[in-house]
Amino acid sequence: MNYFYITGTSRGIGKAIAEKLLEDESNIVIGISRRQTINHERYRHVVFDLNMIEAVQAYEFEQYNDADKVVLINNSGVLGDVNHIGKMSSQKMVQSYNVNLIAPAILINSFMDAYAGTKAEKLIINISSGAARHVVNSWSTYCSTKAGLEMFAQVLDGEIAEAGRTDFRVFSIAPGIIDTEMQSEIRQVPDEQFSSKDKFVELKKNNQLTSPQEVAENMADVIANPENYPETIMDFRD
């Protein structure tokens, strides 16, 4: 059996990936989010708020005697306060760092510890963004948290190679600009807070957004054939 831990399965990319994986009878999905919107015999839900760091620290990954593959997909993310530095909500800044960077880093650390002694193939996939590599004014917390998680993945990749482990792989994947609720949030930001807003309005207007289902198809191929993807840092648009 294959076991998948996916954060943020209540909507968007996370839900699409979970539903795609559940098409295979050998897959079991453990969804981690505040709300459950998937009902399936091979879906298990963990009610979890990644902003509650103490709960993240206390979370324990299960052991499986029949596991061929165990996968952690850090999908959850928040856009945060889209505003200029000096005018941002400190509470929203903390939430952004908790959800986008601190919680997934803790989960990766726990995942590595839990499955280091198992024979199963282990994959860690972080849903990244082009914002991890490009400056976007008014997105300071989103850009910096995504960049931080991407560097975390690169350090982990180096440590895996240094240890000679072939049973672990880590990926940081930017899926492109996806038609999700986050995009809707972006289009609703007041113009004076976000100078690039018109670009995102036009992308939606011209049907240039990628569907979550297309991302899920691409992700399923990475999971099934990781040997075809030698790079840790990836962008599905390349």
Identify the bridge partners of residue 73 per DSSP, sorted by sequence position. 6, 125
Alpha carbon distances (Å) from 98 to 46, 67, 128, 142, 202: 18, 30, 15, 11, 31
229 flagged as catalytic: no
List the beta strands (DSSP E) in the chain.
2-7, 27-33, 43-47, 69-74, 121-127, 168-174, 233-235
Q: Which of 5, 43, 115, 142 is catalytic?
A: 142
State how far the Cα of 128 lies from the Cα of 172, in Å rounded to an integer. 6
- Half-sphere exposure at residue 87, Cβ-oriented, CA atoms within 13 angstroms: 9
4 in Cβ contact with 21 (< 8 Å)? yes
> Rounded to 10 degrees, what is the CA torsion of 188, 174, 48, 223?
140
State how far the Cα of 126 lies from the Cα of 157, in Å rounded to an integer. 13
142, two tokens: 């989103």
Enumerate residues 6+ apart whose C-beta is below 8 A from 212: 12, 13, 15, 16, 17, 178, 179, 180
Return the active site residues.
142
